[in-house]
Structure 1
Amino acid sequence: MTIDMSQFFQVFFDETEELLAEMEKLLLAIDIASPDEEDLNAIFRAAHSIKGGAGTFGLNDLTEVTHVLESLLDKIRKGEMALSAEHVDAFLMAKDVLKMQLDGHRLQTPVDQEAVADARMMLESLSEGEVPKAAPAASLEMAPRQPSAIIPSDGSARCFRIELPKIAERDVDALFAELGLLGQAARQTAPDGHTIFTLVGGSSRDEIISICSFIVDTDELKILEETPPQQMTAAELKAAQEEAQGYGFFDPIEPGEAQTDQQRAAAKAAQEAAQGYGFFEGFEPPVRKESQETEANAAASAAAAVLQQEAASAALVDKKAAAKRETDKANHNAETSSIRVGIEKVDQLINLVGELVITQAMIEQRTSTLDPMLHEKLLNSVSQLTRNTRDLQEAVMSIRMMPMDYVFSRFPRMVRDLASKLGKRIEFVTHGAATELDKGLIERIVDPLTHLVRNSIDHGIEMPEVRKAAGKSERGRLSLSAGHQGGNIVIEVTDDGGGLNRDKILAKARSQGLPVADTMTDADVWQLIFAPGFSTADAVTDVSGRGVGMDVVKRNITAMGGVVDIRSAKGFGTTISISLPLTLAILDGMSIKAGEEIYILPLGYVVESLQPEPADVKEISGQGRVVKVRGEYLPLIPLYQMFGIEPRFSDPSQGIVVILESEGRKAALFVDELVGQQQVVVKNLESNYRKVAGISGATILGDGGVSLIIDVAALLRSSRQLADESIFS
C-alpha cells in the first residue's frame, strides 16, 4: 500500500517551527553556570524530533545539521561536556540555519549554504575540542602502551574515531601499526579517499596525537571520542568501525567494489526506513531534490544513531527506552488536545455567529411587545436562545484570541543579539504575556513593536560606562508589557535610558519648518518625532535611529484603530504606549440616544450612569462645563455638540450623564436617555464608507437600522476640556 505523505508536510512544517521556537526560548533562558537538566533534555528532544521528522520526509539537509547538533547536545546533557556560552551561541546559530532550511522547503526561499557549512563546522569543532566534564585532569594520563590489544575491563576503555588528512599509503600503514599498540584498531577508507581509524583501548587523546604528530599535521587531524562498549569482540569492533562511517544496515563498500545482491537489498531497506520507517513506499520531498550523495549521508547518519544505541550498555538502553515512552506519551497527549484549523474556516464561523446574533436581536425585539401571559412558552424559548447565542459567540471569539506571548517571545533573541553587537548590557523583562488579543491584530503589531524595541536598544539605553558615570546600573532595563484597560489593550515599551531630549527635538523641528513653540507641553513635543523623516540621531546606524520610521509606526498603529502615546523624562527613560481596541466581531454595548439618533457605547468603557443635580454642574471660563461626581470634577462632553445633533435636552440635569474611563482619565458624556444594553456585531465603517472621527464602527440593530459605535478613547482625547489637568483636582 502506498501512502501519499505530501498531505502531512504542512503539519511537519508547523510542528518544526514550534519546536525551533521552543528551543530558542529554552536556550535564551538557560543558566550556563548551572543548567537545569530538564531544560537540556527538552532542547535535546526538540532537536531529536526535528531530525526524526526531517528524515521521515526525506529532507536530508535538515537531518545533517540536526544530527551534529543532537550529538553535541547529548554529550552536554550526559555531563560529558560542560555547557558554555560558545555552545549556546552555536546552538542559536544552528536554530537559525534550520529555520532558513525549513523556509527553503516551505516557501522556496534561498538557503545560504555557506551559513549551513559554518554552523556544522562550529558544532563539530565544539564537539571535538572540549574536554569531558566528568574526566579530571589526572585521569587523562592512562596506563602505558601495551603490546597486546586488550580492552580494560574496569570500565576505563575509551573509543576514538580518528580522521586523517590525505597522506601516502605507507604513512597510513605505519600509523595503523603504531596505533595498534594502544588497543584494538580498525581502519576504513571514506568515499572521499580519507582514511579513518577506530581505536578502542586505555589510551588518551594526547597519546594518539603524540603518535600521529610524527607523520601528519595535528591541525588537520580530527579526533572524536565516542562511547565505548564494556567489552568489544572482533565482530563488535567491526560494528564500531561501521558506525564511525555512518553505516549499519549494510557492509561498508570499498571504492570501486561491486555491490552484491544482499548489499543492494540492505541499502534499499535503509533508504525506505529513513523515508518512511518501512511501512510505505518511498517518496520525493515536495521541493528541492537533494543529490544522491546527500541522501546516502542522511541514511548513514540515521543508521549510526541506531547502532550507537545498540552498542550502549543495557542500563542506558533501558533508561532511553523509558524516556522515549514518556516522550511518546507526552506527544500523544499534545496531539490529542488540539487540532489545526485553517484561519479562513474560523473567519467564516465568526461571520456566521455574527449574523446569528443579529437575527437573535431581531427576534428578541419582535417578541418584546408580546403579552408575557399569553406567550410565556415562546418568550422562555427566546430567552434560552439568547443565552445559548451568547455562550456560542463567546466560545467562537476565544478561538481567534492569542496570548501576547506569541509576540513577546520574538524579542529575547533580538535583544540579546543587538545588545551584544552594540556592546551594551540589557535586562529584558515582559509583563502580561498571557493577555489575549485578536490574531489579526497580533500579526500586525509585530513590526511596529520590533521598530520600537530596536530604537530603545540602540538610542534609548546608554553604553555601560555612560550609565555608570550617571550613577546608574551598568545593565540597562528594557520591558514589554500588555494589559487590558476598558475595551482596549495597552502595550508599553519602556527603557531606563537617557530619555528624549526636548531641546534637540525642538531644534530639529524648527530646522524642518515644523510649527513649534517653546511653550509647547512635553506631550506635544514628543509627538513631533512622528513627523515623516524626523530624526535626532547624530549618526545613522544599521540598527535604528530614534525617530527614523516612527511615522510609519504611528501610521500602522492608527490603521488598526490604535493610538501611540509617549512619556519621557531626561535621564530616567522613555515609555511608548500603544493603545489598541479589542476589535472583536461582537462586543457588549450600551445603547444611548441623542436627539433621534441611537449610538452604541462599548460597555468596557462605562463606569456608571446618573442624572446630576443642577448644583453639581459648573461652568469654567474658556474650558466648558464640568460635573461634580462624589467630590471629583469631571469634564462634561455633550454628545449632541460633538456630532451636531438637535437634542431633546440641553440641560444635563434633565438628561443622563454616562461616566466613561479610558487610559486612566475619566469624563462625563451627556446624552438624552439610555436605551438598553445588548450585544452588537461590529461592522467596519471605514472599508464600507469612510473613516469618521469619533466613530470606531457600525452595527445593525434588531429593527434593521444602523447604529454607529462611539470611539470612546478618541472622543475623550479630542475633547478640549481634557487638555487642562487642573479640572481633575
Structure 2
Amino acid sequence: MSVDLSQFIPSFLEESFEGLELMESGLLNLKPGDNETIHSIFRAAHSIKGGAGTFGFDSVTEFTHLVETLLDEMRDGRREVSSADTEILLESVDCMRLLIEAARDEQDYDHDKVSTTSARLSETLGGQQSTDSDSENESNVNKNDGCGYNIKFIPEHSLAKTGNDPIFLFSALAELGELTISANTEELPALMDIDAQELYFSWELTLITTAEEAEVIEIFEWVEDECLLELEPIVNKANEEPTNNISDVADGVINELSVESSLGEIENQEVLASTKVDNEPETATGEKSKTSKTKAKADLGSIRVGVDKVDSLINLMGELVITQSMLSELGNDFDMSKVERLTSGLEQLLQNTKEMQESVMRIRMLPISFAFNRFPRLVHDLAIKTGKTMELVISGEQTELDKTVMEQIGDPLVHLVRNAADHGIESKDVRLANGKPEKGTISLDAYHQGGNIVIEIKDDGAGINRQTVLDKAIDKGLIDANAILTDSQVYDLLFEPGFSTAAEVTDISGRGVGMDVVKRNIQALGGRIQVESVLGKGSTFKVNLPLTLAILDGQLVKVGTETYIIPLISIVESLQIDNQLINRVSGDMVLYRLRDDNVPVLPIYQMFNLETECTEIDKALLVVVEGDGQKVGLMVDDLLAQQQVVIKSLNDNYQQVSGISGATILGDGSVAMILDIPGIINMALEQAQKIQRVRTDGNSNVAAEVCL
C-alpha cells in the first residue's frame, strides 16, 4: 500500500503561510503573561514543523524546531516574554517563510541569513532560561533514564473526522527511534455496520528511544483531547545490572514483547514506510528517482471560497435550468398567444443571469485584510529602524476586493505606508514639543463608495509643506515660478518622477523613486489617488479603485457612427454646453468655464479622425472627466445608457492603442472601445506641445495640420 503525499503539499503550504501570518500577528501583540497567545503561536510553529517533517522539508523542520523550543520555554513559564526574544522570533518567522518558499519553488535560499538567525536562536536558548531555581529540576523530570516507552493509544471513534490520522503520529514517533506497533481490533464491528468515517482501532506501541518523555507526548498534542494516552517508561536494567548495556536490555525487552501481527497491522506498517518522502527508489547509479517526486509549488491561482457563495451559485444554476426548461417548452408549437409567457420567461432569464454574474464576481472577492496583514509587521520594523514611536490602526479590513486588484495594489500601499512612517510621523521629541502625543498613528482604512473601493492611508504627522513642494518643483523646472496652483495640483507634484522633499536620503525613502510608480500602478488598475494634508496635523492619501478588473461601470457615448465607453469612475459631470462660457485661447485651444475652473475641451472626433455632423461645439454635449489630477471636457454627440461591460484586452487581441484601454462587446454584438482618460489627456498634451513647437519654429503651414 502506498500513499502519494505530494497531493497534500499545496494544502500544507497554504496552511503554513497562514500559520506564519498568525505567528507574526501574535508576536507583534504579545505581552508578558499572555499565555493564550503564546499557546497559539506555539501550535502554529508545531503544526508547520510536523507537516514539514512529513513531506521531507528537513531544512524547515530543523529550523522550526529551534523556534518551537524557545516558544515551549515561554509556554511552560521557564522564560519570561522579553522584547529581545520577540524580535528574534519575528526574525525567525521571516526565515521560516524563506525556507518554505524555497521548498515550494524547489530553489535555494539565503543560507547566511538562516545560519545567522539559527545561531542567535541557539545563543538565546543557551542563555538564562529559567524564571526560578526549581525550573531546571522540573525540566529534568521528563529525562528518559530508561531505553524507551510502552505507549497505549486509544483514540475516540470520531478522531478521523477532525482530520487527524494516526499514521502521521506513528510516522513522527518512528523518527525518535525504533517503533513496534500492535493493533487492537476488538471494537471493530461487522462489515455491514462499519462507518467509513469512524475509527475503531486502538494501539499498543513500543518505542525504543533516548528521547525525553515530553518529546513523545508532544507528538500527541493535537489529539490529546480526543484520545486516552498512557506512557510507561521502560526501565533501563543496566542501572541494576552493570554487566548489561543498553542494547542488551533493549534486545531483551523486545524479545519479551508479545507482538500480535495482523493484516491491518502489516498494512499500517506499509503505510508508515511510504510516508517518508526521502525513501524513494534509487537508480542503478545510486541517485534517487525523480519520476515519483512532483514539484512542491503552491497553487497560486487558488481561492478559498465560502460555502455560502458556492450555495448561492448552485441555487442560481437551478433557477437557470428551470427557466431554460420553460423557454424550451415555449419553443414547441409557438404561437402569438404565448408571447406574454415568453416575455416573462426572458425577464426571468435576464434576472437570473444578472444574479449569476454577481455571484460569480463574488467568488473572486476577498477581504482586503489579505493585503493589510503585512503592515503591522512593516510599521513595527520601521519604528525600530527610525527610532520613532508609532502604531498602526486598521479598520475596514473585511471590505471585499477582487483578488487580482488586491495582488497588484499591495506594493503601492507598502510605499505609501513607508512614506507615512518616514516623512509623515515626527520624532518623539518633535511631537512632544508640538503638544502631540509621543506615539504617532498611521491609519489604514477601506470602505465602499458607490461601485468602487476607497483605501485611505492617514497619519497624524507633520503634514505636507505646500511652499516647500512648490519651491522644489520650481527648482526642478516642473512648473513656472508664476504658476498659480490649487492644493490638489501642488500635492500631485509629489508623484512626478524623481521628485522628493526629503532633507536626506535614507534606506527607507528620500530618493524620489517610487511615488511616480505608485501613481502609475494605481492608474493601471483604473483607479486614482488623491492627497489631502494640513500642515502640522497630518496627511491622507486616498486610493480609489474599481472593485474588479473584469467588469467596468461605464457611460456609453456616441461620436459619429462610433460608440465609446467612458469609465464612470472618471466622470465628474455631463452637461449641455453654454456658448457664453466658451473661451478660445492661443493654439486653437477651447476652454469651458465650469464654475471656478477653465476646462480644456477635447473633440473626440478629431482625436480619432472620425466623421460626424456634430462638429460645432455649441451643438455637442460635454462630458467632464478627471485623470492625472486634471479635468478636461470630452466633446461627444450624444449620451447613451450607463451599463456594466466586460473588459476585453486589446493587447491580447490586437495591439495597444493610444487613448484606448480596452474593448467590450455590446448587446447588439457590436464592439465598443473603452476610453483611457489619462491616455487621452496625454495625447492632447502631446499634440498641444507639438503645435507650440511648430509655431515657435515659425512653420504655420505644418501647425495648421495639427489639430487638438
Partners of 1:72 and 1:184 in 2: CA distance: 17
Mapped pair 1:385 → 2:349 = yes
Calculate the TM-score normalised by the size of structure 2: 0.62
Q: Under a length normalisation based on structure 1, what TM-score does the superposition of the two structures give?
A: 0.61
For the 8 Å contact 2:3–2:275, the answer to whether it is kept is no
The aligned length equals 546
Q: How far does residue 597 in structure 1 lie from its aligned partner after superposition?
A: 2.9
Q: Map 1:169-180 to 2 at 5 A.
A: none
Aligned to 1:689: 655
> Paired residue for 2:24?
24
1:596 has 2:596 as partner: no
Tell me what 2:3 maps to. Answer: 3
Q: Contact 1:438 / 1:583 at 8 angstroms: preserved in 2? A: yes
Amino acid at match of 2:374: R
Helix, strand or coil: the match of 1:524?
Answer: helix
Paired letter, 1:15? E
38, 48, 51: which one pairs with 1:50? Answer: 48
Which residue of 1 is the match for residue 431 of structure 2?
467
Deviation at 1:700, TM superposition (A): 0.8
Distance 1:618 1:664, change over 3 A: farther
CA contact (8 A) 1:660 1:666 kept: yes
The within-5 A match list for 1:435-450 is: 435-450=399-414
Q: Output the CA distance in 2 between the equivalents of 1:445 and 1:683.
A: 21
> For residues 481 and 617 of structure 1, do their structure 2 counterparts lie closer, same or farther at Cα, with a shift above 3 Å needed?
farther
Query: Contact (CA 8 Å) 2:563, 2:672: kept in 1 or not?
Result: yes
**Partner in structure 2 of residue 203 of structure 1:** none
Cα deviation, residue 374, structure 1: 5.5
- The alpha-carbon distance between structure 1 residues 386 and 666, as it changes in their structure 2 partners (threshold 3 A), is farther
> Is contact 1:637–1:667 with CA below 8 Å preserved after alignment?
yes
Distance of aligned partners of 1:9 and 1:656 in 2 relative to their CA distance in 1, 3 Å threshold:
same
Gaps of 5+ in 1: 133-139, 143-155, 162-182, 190-237, 267-272, 289-338, 721-729
2: distance between equivalents of 1:184 and 1:392? 60
1:503-652 to structure 2, matched below 5 A, reads 503-521=467-485, 522-545=487-510, 547-587=512-552, 589=554, 591-601=556-566, 619=581
Contact 2:52 2:61 in 1 (8 A): yes
Partner of 1:168: none
The one-letter amino acid paired with 1:575 is T
**Contact 1:17/1:99, CA 8 A, preserved across alignment:** yes
Please tell me whether the aligned partners of residues 416 and 457 of structure 2 are also in contact (alpha carbons under 8 angstroms): yes
Aligned residue in 1 for 2:108? 109
Contact 2:459/2:540 (8 A) holds in 1? yes
Asked if the contact 1:618/1:625 (under 8 Å) is kept, the reply is: no
Separation in 2, partners of 1:513, 1:394:
49
8 Å contact kept, 2:525–2:545 = yes
Counterpart CA distance in 2 for 1:482 and 1:714 is 28
3-state SS, counterpart of residue 281 of structure 1:
helix
Determine helix, strand or coil for the equivalent of 1:280: helix
Q: SS of 1:407's equivalent? A: helix
**1:38 and 1:186 mapped to 2: Cα distance?**
29
Conserved? CA contact 1:6–1:286, under 8 Å: no
- Please report how far the alpha carbon of residue 410 of structure 1 lies from its aligned counterpart in structure 2 after TM superposition: 0.5
- Cα separation, 2, equivalents of 1:433 and 1:280: 43
Residues 256 and 504 of structure 1, relative CA distance in 2, 3 Å threshold: farther
**2:95 matched residue in structure 1:** 97
Pick which of 517-526 and 90-99 moved more: 517-526
- Are the counterparts in 2 of residues 634 and 668 from structure 1 also a CA contact under 8 Å? no
Equivalent in the alignment of 1:492? 456
Asked if structure 1 preserves the Cα contact closer than 8 Å seen for 2:454 and 2:544, the reply is yes
Change (3 A) 1:593 1:372: farther
* Secondary structure in structure 1 of the residue aligned to 2:668: coil
Contact (CA 8 Å) 1:489, 1:581: kept in 2 or not? Answer: yes
Against the structure 1 CA distance between its residues 417 and 646, is the aligned structure 2 distance closer, same or farther, given a 3 Å change threshold?
Answer: same
1:640 is displaced (CA, Å) by 6.0
Provide the identity percentage: 40
Is the 1:456–1:495 contact (alpha carbons within 8 Å) kept by the matching residues of 2?
A: yes
SS at match of 2:409: helix
CA offsets per residue over residues 29-88 of structure 1, 9 Å max, x none? 34x1563x5433322321222222123223344334444444544454455654333343
Counterparts of 1:202-241 in structure 2, within 5 Å, are none
* Distance in 2, Cα, partners of 1:638 & 1:442: 34
Q: Compute the RMSD of aligned alpha carbons.
A: 5.3
For residue 648 of structure 1, report the CA deviation from its aligned partner. 6.8
Q: Secondary structure at the match of 2:272?
A: coil
- The CA distance in 2 between the partners of 1:621 and 1:538, in whole Å, is 43
Deviations 1:286-317 (A, max 9, x none): 799xxxxxxxxxxxxxxxxxxxxxxxxxxxxx
Quick one: which of 396, 402, 407 aligns to 2:371?
407
**Per-residue deviation, 1:567:** 2.9
The Cα shift of 1:102 comes to 1.2
Q: CA deviation at 1:703?
A: 2.5
The structure 2 residue matched to 1:422, chosen from 368, 386, 392, is: 386
Distance in 2 (CA, whole Å) between partners of 1:626 and 1:512 is 31
Q: Residue 272 of structure 2 corresponds to which residue in structure 1?
A: 280
Is this contact kept in 2: 1:639–1:670, CA < 8 A?
Answer: yes
Match of 2:125 in 1: 124
Measure the CA separation in 1 of the matches of 2:476 and 2:679: 29
Tell me which amino acid in the other structure corresponds to 1:86.
A
Deviations 1:628-663, CA, capped at 9 Å, x for gaps: 9xxx99989898679676667799999989899999
The whole-number CA distance in structure 1 between the counterparts of 2:341 and 2:395 is 50
Among 446, 451, 455, the alignment partner of 1:482 is 446
Aligned to 1:701: 666
The answer (yes or no) to whether the contact 1:2–1:280 under 8 Å persists in 2 is no
Deviates more, 1:15-24 or 1:573-582: 573-582
Name 1:303's counterpart in structure 2. Answer: none
